[in-house]
Amino acid sequence: MNKCQGCGVLCENNLCERCFRIKHYNDYKVVSKTNEDFIPILKNISQSDDLVLLVVDLFNIGNLSLIRKYLKNDILLVLTKRDLLPRSVSFDKLFNYDYGIDYVDKIIVSSNKNYNFDELLSKINKYKKTDKVYVVGFTNAGKSTMINKLIYNYSDNKTEITTSPLPSTTLNTIEIKLNNITLIDTPGLLSEGDIVNYVNGNELKKIIPKKEIKPITYQVKGKQTIVVDNYLLIEASDIDLTFYMSNNLKIKRYYKKISTNLKKHIIEVNNNDIVVKGLCFIKTNKKSILNVYTLDNVLVFTRDSLI
Ligand SMILES: Nc1nc2c(ncn2[C@@H]2O[C@H](COP(=O)(O)OP(=O)(O)O)[C@@H](O)[C@H]2O)c(=O)[nH]1
Ligand SMILES: [Mg+2]
């Protein structure tokens, strides 16, 4: 048996049927995996001295300690998808943000824009203790895309790992040579409470940002309701709210109450961000209490403001 070059499952050929279809027809077949499959992989990595690249989607950061807690290894934090956040965002603010875990170093990159990859390769070489380097993170963080970019930029290797906007594209560990280094891609931890787990393919296309986000600010005076498509409704009063989300989502302001079937969360803010996981984050400018309504299983929480 071979391992599929695209996703790592055992199969007869170099590429399994599912990866072939994703690659040539953009035809996705959702495979449901659970974290039971991934945690043993992390524990196994932890037995080694190998450097770990923890890849983080800057638009959808997630609780990194859920991954860190299984790993004793040195971690290079790779903050990717820089291209999604507005160009005007300060480098220092993003770089010095508290990502909630310890690491040996960090770097901001964009695989789509090929931004900062020379620096990434040089940091990998600086911190690696062995010839193996593991790549971990949440599903959809951009791990496989980053590896493909490294391989494309710096080696003659023609293999490509399958990437897609759906969770669980990479199904098993995949080893891929980057000259003297063996990069090892992993399936990634499922991001619980993320909206991508609860919507269909067409909705995903609208929700997942692909281009630089254009933030939208509402200066709410008195009581108002802000509605984002069928996914989010916010009741707020006397506060500035700046929405960071896909430019394809429709947002509308009402000067009255709007009825909704979405699930209610009462959220206290204090100059920080409200995160609706996978959908958006909303920067606020004062202390206040808001009603935030969204889909049933989607997590809503606050964090220090990223931007
Ligand atoms: N805008 C943007 N999208 C990216 C970037 N890197 C990956 N993506 C997209 O994010 C999605 C998940 O990428 P993938 O590499 O499959 O994630 P993995 O599950 O961590 O391996 C795909 O739709 C990619 O095209 C990036 O630097 N910028
Ligand atoms: Mg992958």
**Tens digit of each residue's pLDDT (9 = 90 or more) over 222-257:** 999 999 999 999 999 999 999 999 999 999 999 999
This prediction's pTM: 0.93
Mean pLDDT for the chain overall: 93
In the chain, where are the structural domains located?
A: 2-192, 216-303
Q: In the prediction, which pLDDT does 171 show?
A: 73
Pocket of ligand 1 (CB under 6 A): 80-81, 83-84, 110-112, 137, 139-145, 163-165, 169-170, 188, 210
Residue 121 CB partners (closer than 8 Å, separation 6+): 150, 153, 154
Side chain identity at residue 17, one-letter code: E
Whether 25 shows a pLDDT value over 80: the answer reads no
Compare 168 and 142 and report the one with higher pLDDT: 142
> Which CATH architecture describes the domain 2-192?
3-Layer(aba) Sandwich (3.40)
Among the bound ligands, name the one nearest to the CA of residue 190.
Answer: 1
Residue 286 pLDDT grade (very low, low, confident, very high; cuts 50, 70, 90): very high
Q: How far apart are CA 247 and CA 207, in angstroms?
A: 9
- Provide the pLDDT for residue 9: 85
User: Residue 29: what pLDDT?
Assistant: 65
Contact 169, 207 (CB under 8 A): no
Atom of ligand 1 nearest to the CA of 143: 20
Q: Which ligand is nearest to the CA of 60?
A: 1
Protein residues with C-beta less than 5 angstroms from the ion ligand 2:
143-144, 169-170
CA distance 93 to 100: 15
Confidence (pLDDT) at 33: 66
| Phi, psi angles (nearest 5°) of residue 178 | -120, 85
Atom of ligand 1 lying closest to residue 110 CA: 27
Ligand 2 geometric centre to CA of 36 (Å): 17
Q: How far is the CA of 57 from the centre of ligand 2 (A)?
A: 13
CB 168 within 8 A of CB 19: no
**87 pLDDT more than 80:** yes
DSSP, res 137: E
Atom of ligand 1 nearest to the CA of 210: 1
Query: To test the ligand 1 pocket, which listed residue (145, 194, 210, 248) has its Cβ within 8 A of the most ligand atoms?
Result: 145
- Element (DSSP H or E) covering residue 242: strand 232-245
pLDDT band for position 32 (cuts 50, 70, 90): low
pLDDT in tens, 53-75: 999 999 999 999 999 999 999 99
d(CA 197, CA 121): 33
Q: What percent of the chain has pLDDT over 70?
A: 98
